[in-house]
Structure 1
Amino acid sequence: MRITRDLGSSHAWTLHEGEIDGRRVFVKRGADFASEAAGLRWLAEAGAVAVPEVIEAGDGTLVLEWIEPAHASAAAAERFGRELAELHRAGAPGFGAPWPGHIAELPMDNTPDPDWPSFYVRRRVLPFVRLARDGGALTAADVKLIEEACDLIPEVCGPAEPPSRIHGDLWSGNVLWTASSGGSGAERAVLIDPAAHGGHRETDLAMLALFGAPQLNPILAAYREAAPLADGWRERVPMHQFHPLLVHVCLYGEAYRGSLLSAVSQILAL
């Protein structure tokens, strides 16, 4: 493999454009990418959404298929909504995953739990509450409020659903738009940087809304047509944004504390 261009850095790793046997590739270096590679392959197995091919993974390097960017049209957004519904329907053996998880550079516990509320509280929320508290970004009063919200989650999470095959970190920056292969010229979404696991499908939808995905309304409309959501899903969005906001507090400190506590207050008001 030959590195042809440096593309900067992200979190703890560097990004590069490269070439293998004349093929353009995207290269990440400087971390253990086993979780990302496993997640991409697992998402690809569903045959629903597009993800980049994992060409090489190991020894602190991840080599992926190069994705040429395009714009996010309404038609591409509708297609993505349908494909995301199909991905979620592919399901998972349980809530969790058989590989250790990561989100950004932070480890994430994928140990299975018997139901989603237990998994979400024990594996997603509380570990990051402790990390943020120990790092000084959350006060003791903040932690008490969060624990009260956690106690409510089994009551306010909506009807029980089977585990869905979810991306797990589906903010707008992890959705690339590219022209389809095969000469059609139509745009489609390609998902990158997953924290994939068996989870709740509303989590992916809430993540798309968190930082404003392009063409969000057509995505959601097409998704709901293909896979209707349980009543009250809009009111549950802050609950599903609870974990990613905690991750941001852990990564970036008090800048996200206000948004986190706002989500907590909305959970307590459900």
Structure 2
Amino acid sequence: MRSVRELGTSHGWRLRQGVLDDGRPVFVKSGPADAVSEVFAAEAAGLRWLGEVAAVPEVIEAGPDRLVLSWVEEERPGPAAAERFGRELAGMHRAGAAAFGAPWPGFIAELPMDNRPCGSWPEFYAERRVLPFLREARLPAADVAEVERAVARFAEVAGPAEPPSRIHGDLWSGNVLWSGGSAVLVDPAAHGGHRETDLGMLALFGLPHLDRVLGAYREEWPLADGWRERVPLHQLHPLLVHVVLYGGSYRGSLMAAVRRVLEL
């Protein structure tokens, strides 16, 4: 590389902007090979899979100790970009997946996730997402019992069955980079899942012009009745992830979502 500029760290990974010998700007994420090789391989696999149907950075190199991606030049989002993103997100979801799960190991941040396929989304969400993180969350026994009660209702409250969608899996606002008049998606936990999961993540921490995104999405591919009421269901897993990563400060938000699921 011609030059390198430090961008800080995230989850223990070193982040840098570089310029290749041919003049292309790149984003570089690196760390000890024994700790991150599977993480980078999974991220690269997810980016390539999503990139078949959506805007993502190009994977230039996925080595045992670093991931090199094309640089995304960000811009300020506007209503037109939000609407275009909504249509493109619906198209990505509609591209589908072979199963609920993925043929590569899953990670969200540095935390491993089981991507082995399941026959239905409620089963996948319970067995591969919510219950494993519940076991790691160190919640009081009463909270654990409440979450388990909600899990027992997944099949009942999940809405009409849909085939697996091609989803990002960690689509909070920080993983949406506005560029080129739409959005470029980064840091995926990509797998075959429920499309409402990505929409629930977008709502969890807010997104500029979210109403425009959702409106355009629904024009492109209407959502099943009751999708707004199911948002807390799809937020259970990311909230549990935050409890595992950051502790009890997210417990209140998690349990509020659990109560809303129990009321469905």
The answer to whether the superposition gives a TM-score over 0.5 is: yes
Report the RMSD for the aligned CA atoms in angstroms: 0.7
The reply on whether 1:173 has 2:174 as its aligned counterpart is yes
In 1, Cα distance between the equivalents of 2:116 and 2:208?
33
Amino acid at match of 2:26: V
Structure 2, unmatched stretches of 5+, are none
Deviating above 4 A after TM superposition, structure 1's stretches of 4 or more consecutive aligned residues are: none
Alignment coverage as a number of residue pairs:
257
Q: Give 1:23-38 correspondences, 5 Å limit.
A: 23-30=24-31, 31-32=36-37, 33-38=40-45
Structure 1, unmatched stretches of 5+, are 181-186
- The 8 Å contact of residues 108 and 124 in structure 1, kept in 2 or not, is answered as yes
In 1, Cα distance between the equivalents of 2:11 and 2:2?
23
Partner of 1:204: 198
- The 8 Å contact of residues 3 and 16 in structure 1, kept in 2 or not, is answered as no
Partner of 1:140: 141
Partner of 1:111: 116
In 2, Cα distance between the equivalents of 1:128 and 1:219?
30
Quick one: structure 1 residues 238 and 131, their matched pair in 2 at CA, closer, same or farther if it must change by over 3 Å?
A: same
The reply on whether 1:261 has 2:255 as its aligned counterpart is yes
Partner of 1:227: 221
Q: Give 1:157-196 correspondences, 5 Å limit.
A: 157-178=158-179, 180=180, 187-196=181-190
Q: CA deviation at 1:259?
A: 0.1
**Deviating more after overlay: 3-12 vs 219-228:** 3-12
The reply on whether 1:66 has 2:71 as its aligned counterpart is yes
Q: For residue 93 of structure 1, give the secondary structure of its aligned residue in structure 2.
A: coil
- Between the two proteins, what is the percent identity of the paired residues? 69
Amino acid at match of 1:53: E
TM-score, structure 1 as length reference: 0.94
TM-score, structure 2 as length reference: 0.96
In the alignment, which of 80, 83, 88 is matched to residue 83 of structure 1? 88
The reply on whether 1:54 has 2:64 as its aligned counterpart is no
- The 8 Å contact of residues 4 and 16 in structure 1, kept in 2 or not, is answered as yes
Q: CA deviation at 1:3?
A: 4.5
